Amino acid sequence: MAKQWGGRFEAQTDALVEALGQSVSYDARLAPWDIRASIAHARMLGQEGIITRADSRKIVAGLTAIAKDIDAGRFTFDPSLEDVHTNIESALVTRIGDAGKRLHTGRSRNDQVATDVRLWMRDQIDTILKLLKAIQAAFVDFAEAHVEVILPGCTHLQHAQPVLLAHHMLAYFEMFARDRDRFTQLRARVNVMPLGSAALAGTPYPINREWVAKELGFERISANSMDAVSDRDFVIEFCAAASLTMMHLSRFSEELILWSTPEYHFIEIGDSYTTGSSIMPQKKNPDVAELVRGKTGRVYGDLTALLTLMKGLPLTYNRDLQEDKEALFDASDTVQLCLAVVTRMIPSIHIHAHAMESATREGYLEATDVADYLVGKGMPFREAHSVVGRIVLYCSRNGRRIPELSVKEFRSFAACFDADIVDALSVESIVRRRDNPGGTSPRRVREALRKARKSL
Check 90, 146, 272, 277 and give the catalytic one: 277
Q: Would you list the DSSP string of 106-135? A: T--HHHHHHHHHHHHHHHHHHHHHHHHHHH
3-state DSSP assignment of residue 194? coil
Residues 6+ apart with CB under 8 A from 134: 339, 340, 343
Our measurement of the distance from residue 139's CA atom to the centroid of its chain's CA atoms, rounded to an integer in Å, reads 16
Would you say 86 and 33 are in contact if contact means Cβ atoms under 8 Å apart? no
Q: What is the C-alpha end-to-end distance of the chain, expressed in Å?
A: 55
Q: What type of residue sits at position 251?
A: R
Our measurement of the distance from residue 81's CA atom to the centroid of its chain's CA atoms, rounded to an integer in Å, reads 34
Counting Cβ atoms within 10 Å, is residue 312 exposed (0-12), middle (13-18) or buried (19+)?
exposed
Nearest to 40 by CA among 112, 124, 118: 112
- List beta partners, residue 351: 267
Q: Which ranges constitute the DSSP H helices of 353-415?
A: 353-359, 367-376, 381-398, 407-411
Q: What type of residue sits at position 155?
A: T
Check 25, 56, 85, 156 and give the catalytic one: 156
Our measurement of the distance from residue 424's CA atom to the centroid of its chain's CA atoms, rounded to an integer in Å, reads 42
Q: Would you list the DSSP string of 260-315? A: TSTTT--EE--GGG-B--SS-TT--B-HHHHHHHHHHHHHHHHHHHHHHHHTTPPS
Task: Calculate Rg over the CA atoms of the chain.
Answer: 31
What is the CB-side half-sphere exposure of residue 263 using CA atoms within 13 A?
A: 4
The four Cα atoms 440, 443, 448, 451 give a dihedral, to 10 degrees, of: -170
DSSP β-ladder status, 350-351 and 267-268: antiparallel
Would you say 370 and 414 are in contact if contact means Cβ atoms under 8 Å apart? no
Would you say 203 and 106 are in contact if contact means Cβ atoms under 8 Å apart? yes
Q: Is 156 a catalytic residue?
A: yes
Active site residues: 156, 277
